[in-house]
Structure 1
Amino acid sequence: MFYRIKTPAIIKKAYPRLIWDMPSSKAVYLTFDDGPTPGVTDKVLQILKQFDAKATFFCIGKNVLKYPELFRQIIQEGHAIGNHTYNHLNGFSVNKQLYRADVQQARELIETKLFRPPYGKIKRSQIKDLCGDYRIIMWSVLSGDFDKTLSPERIYCNVVKYVKEGSIVTFHDSLKAKNNLLPALPRILDYLKENNLECKKIII
């Protein structure tokens, strides 16, 4: 499994229509992909509340349909939501029409102008197709919490090594990431608080 913790500048320059960070902000933007997931999302919400932190949750449509109360809780607690497709599609594997249809299916459940492509994989034709309706949010720091070969300590180190003002940091409120995410998140929030970095939701 290959992925980069810090998004290279050359990638950001190659895809300027995508939002990789919030450079004019003095805050940090924590994001959570793939939920809502019972036993994970609810615990993430508890941790965020303890630190008075706000975040953005990129939700999968079929999970919203399964767990509507948990989805509503995200909104009620003051966090932002984003569309993460209905079936967690890999944009590289499907054509523009199928991708748009899946995003639209999720849109019926998730009212938002924010979109994040699953796996961060999206074709230029899909970007062009969606940009009229959405701001496509990527990330500057990928925590790696989904990687079962890593430990919570490594997740913590991945984030604190690269996070700075304006960073968009990606986590996953999924069963796959649970054992890394839940122990690491409070430590990361402690670090951010100690360094006077406020956690805000994405508003564009």
Structure 2
Amino acid sequence: MRFFQTPAVFSWLFPRIWWHRKTAEKVLYLTFDDGPIPDVTEFVLNQLALYQAKATFFCVGENLERNPAIAEMVYHAGHTLANHTHKHVQAWKTPVNDYLLEVERCQSALNKVQPTANSSMLFRPPHGQLTLAHLKRLQEKYQVVMWSHLTYDFDQTLPPEKCWDKLKGKLRPGAILVMHDSLKAERNLRFVLPRLLQHAVSLGYSFKAL
């Protein structure tokens, strides 16, 4: 079953996690997971620039190391770089201490691009997977960020038109939206992102980084 919109009970059960941001302004928080990836991340940056939109990029550490110039483009364009582990590991399959090493390794890669004084301490777990033990340790240092809206752009069985149709009627102030600057998501990303930006701006929304 796909949950395009996160059930409200999750924010009640885990109030310290960011599922959305409380605001009276018409602001959306667009986030991208898994990059930076050549061509794909650059496409995202170009689309965001057309609307003066800011976003948060939850980066995989090994992709940061492979593509530092693209990561620097993200940073210098005024977006936020954040942590998505070094090798996109799953918490349900990784012991807590090993998982934290993955997180710290990614943070080290982030700090080489984004000066430590400005470095974001935001973290999103790959696949949205956490255990209570992982969460407790992470919250000692990081702000864990989930989402209110998941586009499923990574699902290659989902036609791009349906991906967009499931999202466009659900925009709400303070929503945290997830997309992916990855090869797997590229087809749906290239279809949905321009439409999302144009539609949201036409409704009076702006886009800010977390």
Measured in 2, the distance between the counterparts of 1:11 and 1:93 equals: 22
Measured in 1, the distance between the counterparts of 2:198 and 2:88 equals: 31
Measured in 1, the distance between the counterparts of 2:22 and 2:166 equals: 20
- For residues 148-204 of structure 1, the C-alpha deviation after alignment (integer angstroms, 9 at most, x for no partner) is 1112211212221222100000000000000000121111111101110101100xx
Measured in 1, the distance between the counterparts of 2:140 and 2:94 equals: 20
Aligned CA-pair RMSD: 1.0
Read off the aligned partner of 1:16 and give its amino acid letter.
P
- Which residue number in structure 2 is paired with residue 59 of structure 1? 59
- Specify the SS of the correspondent of 1:163: coil
- Specify the SS of the correspondent of 1:109: helix
- For residues 118-146 of structure 1, the C-alpha deviation after alignment (integer angstroms, 9 at most, x for no partner) is 00001111111011211111000000100
- Which residue number in structure 2 is paired with residue 6 of structure 1? 5
Deviation, structure 1 residue 25: 4.9
Deviation, structure 1 residue 94: 1.1
- Which residue number in structure 2 is paired with residue 98 of structure 1? 98
- For residues 46-98 of structure 1, the C-alpha deviation after alignment (integer angstroms, 9 at most, x for no partner) is 00001111100000000000000000100000001110000101111111111
Aligned length: 201
Greater than 6 Å deviation, 4+ residue runs? none
Measured in 2, the distance between the counterparts of 1:47 and 1:155 equals: 18
Read off the aligned partner of 2:81 and give its amino acid letter.
I
Matched, 1:116 2:86: no
Matched, 1:129 2:128: no
Read off the aligned partner of 2:39 and give its amino acid letter.
G
Q: Which of 180, 183, 187 does residue 188 from structure 2 map onto? A: 180
Tell me if structure 2 keeps the 8 A contact 1:31–1:169: yes
Tell me if structure 2 keeps the 8 A contact 1:57–1:81: yes
What are the ranges of 5 or more consecutive residues in structure 2 without an aligned counterpart?
Answer: 112-119
- Specify the SS of the correspondent of 2:30: strand
What are the ranges of 5 or more consecutive residues in structure 1 without an aligned counterpart?
Answer: none
Measured in 2, the distance between the counterparts of 1:98 and 1:109 equals: 17
Measured in 2, the distance between the counterparts of 1:151 and 1:39 equals: 21
Normalising by the residue count of structure 1, what TM-score does the alignment of the two structures yield? Answer: 0.96
